[in-house]
Amino acid sequence: MPAIETVAIIGSGNMGSGIAQKSAQEKFKVQMVDREEKWVKRGQEIISDLLDQALERRIFSDKQIDSIKSRIEGVVGTENINPNTDLVIEAVFEDFEIKKEVFAILDGVCNQNTILASNTSSLSVNDLAKATNRPERFVGLHFFYHPAKNRLIEIIPAETTSEETLLAVEAYCKAMGKVVIVCKDRPGFVVNRFFVPWLNEACILLEEGVASTAQIDSIACDAFDIGMGPFALMNLTGPSIALHATDYLADQLNTPRYKGASNLREMVANNKAWEIDNNTKYSESVRKIVEKRLLGQVFAVASQIVDEEICSKEDVDRGAKVGLRWNKGPFELANKIGINTAYEISKEYCELANLKIPNLLKTQKESSKPFDFSYVDVIISKDIATVRLNRPEAMNALNVDLVNELGQKIDDLNDRDDINAIILEGAGKAFVAGADVKFFVDKIKQNSFKEIYDFTAYGHEVLSKLENSSKVTIALTTGLTLGGGLELALACDYRIGTNKTQMRFPETNIGIYPGLGGTQRTVKICGVEVARYAVLAGNFLNAETANAFGLITHLVDQNYITKTINEIVVGGKPNNKFRHQPIDFENKNVVFAKKFYSDDNIKLILDGNQPKDIQGIDENMMLRQMKSISYTAPIALEIAADLLEIANSKDISLSDGLSQELSNLERIFSTNDALEGLSSLIEGRRPSYTNS
């Protein structure tokens, strides 16, 4: 099935206009549809207002905003959409009959290849699919508010949804930069299943007189490590939404405990918001009651979700962290307070709600071990194994657990005779956005360099498993590929990119140097001058430049990724992975790098002096490059430059060069500049280096 390129959104309210805006931002051609011209114009005004805010915050330029708006066409009447639209998303009221009417029109208008989707937070996707004439080309989507800002989306395939439909819609959502949870069609899906009863349980606590709204919010914020409690959240989104959702769950799941509390009904009937004062003082006994009840409810319901195989526990946590912006998901919170405690308070809640204690909690209690999590998925199709790094809430950043699991999975695949190719891909928008910087900061502050070394050394082993694999290895660098992620990709035989690919080595800008082979493989792939351009100044490389450098081996349209993979696998492993030169010598950045970062100029540049009289390159490019170099950490710049020279030496093997990278780790991580640079990245500020 071709990739989705054109999208129509039926409904131009806050949700519909938000989906239209985000789609246009990601370069999809969009039709925003409503019944009357005034509603279409209202949707366009909502988008304009949000884009104006983005302009004020310097998220977009005037030119970008004009481009986004140009991709959104207003359409009056569902019957007037382009019949060849790839995907139509219905985003009207949560009313089955209204949605059914919309799909009846769409079935008559759209061609047989158009995929239909419903943006719903509650209705049965299976029932909606049956209401169309194309149940195999139907899927449920649950965008989270605001769809232009919130990164989470739940995809709910109906029992009739074809695999190719699901894959196409998943690719669209990923291209939108969404963190995707694919889940079963059960009431509340994933996030609302545990979140909505949590809101109602807070109302019950208030109704029982256990604590005030302010006290409950304060206790909830501390217990869940969140910025806004249940009553503040309901005031933000509207108590009526909470009431509708909790009544729906009570009915669908036959759970009277979820029936909207009487005080919530009163708020909605009187069109009021919760009153929340500033008195957040409470006794220890009150704290325990509120905390146990809210945590117990979340643990119990989250475990029900996993028991019912709606999704994995990793996805439940992901939904909480991305969709609700919690710092920890339910299962991570259970680990934090201890499995025995989590079990006991869940059991108390289940007794109150007349629910069975979930099997998952029982089993975990019997083991007395914390929940463990998997962040690397392996999907086998014939003789090709796709290894998906599934930590999209952290842009798939490499941490100890992920790297250890990746190493084990690669070992398993390398040992299999039925596998001919290993494909690496990242879940979500990024391939891998570098390493987990907080790990480095924590270990530096703890004076525990050994843990940094062990993590990096094992990372080298994992990359070696890929590089020396007998299988064809391919990295799908179709999104953000930074630092350690780029180093991981360079260990593969091939790297496939699209127009959404962005690559960068940011290390010298944050006080360190690329330590997972970046200083060595980059030189051997694209030559020392181009490697200096990429590594020393930390330049962002778009898809065209990365392809010209040779960092991307295959730059293709999104539609042709599968075809390209198959062609690569048939062709087998490359005869010469290390060309020591770029692919396109005519590319302007290749021309610049070859001249500016030549052996004759490099010492001047490292000393902070701009080379003179370089023929054929733009003066402004040189000025920008010198400015970029000035922002780097001096010690990191020096070490990185030395390591690039080692990689360029004909007398030193790749293995010896990688050893040199490792041997310089202690030197760089013991500097004040490393701590300053890494800390500044976490804190979102510009570093101040002291060359110490």
Active-site residue set: 121, 142, 154, 192
| 72 touches 30 (CB < 8 A) | yes
Report the DSSP beta bridge partners of residue 7: 30, 87
Residue given tokens 């970008």 in the structure block: 64
Tokens of 204: 């019950």
Q: CA-based angle 328:330:333, to the nearest 5?
A: 60
Percent helix / strand / coil, the chain, rounded to 5: 55, 10, 35
Q: Which residues contact 140 (CB under 8 A, 6 or more apart)?
A: 117, 118, 120, 125, 128, 154, 155, 156, 157, 158, 185
User: What does each C-alpha distance from 189 to 144, 149, 192, 333, 356 come to in angstroms?
Assistant: 12, 21, 7, 21, 19
Q: Read off φ and ψ for residue 256, nearest 5 degrees.
A: -55, -25
| 557 touches 498 (CB < 8 A) | yes
Tokens of 528: 């020392």
Q: Is 32 helix (H, G, I), strand (E, B) or coil?
A: strand
State the helix-helix crossing angle for 619-630 and 588-596, rounded to 10 degrees: 70
Tokens of 252: 């669908």
For 159, left (φ over 0), alpha (ψ -120 to 50), or beta? alpha
| 374 touches 306 (CB < 8 A) | no
Tokens of 336: 């934090």
Please report which residue ranges of 468-601 form alpha helices under DSSP H: 484-490, 518-526, 528-535, 543-549, 561-571, 588-596
| 138 touches 115 (CB < 8 A) | yes
Tokens of 359: 């099997």
What do you get for the CA distance between the two ends of the chain, in Å?
Answer: 56
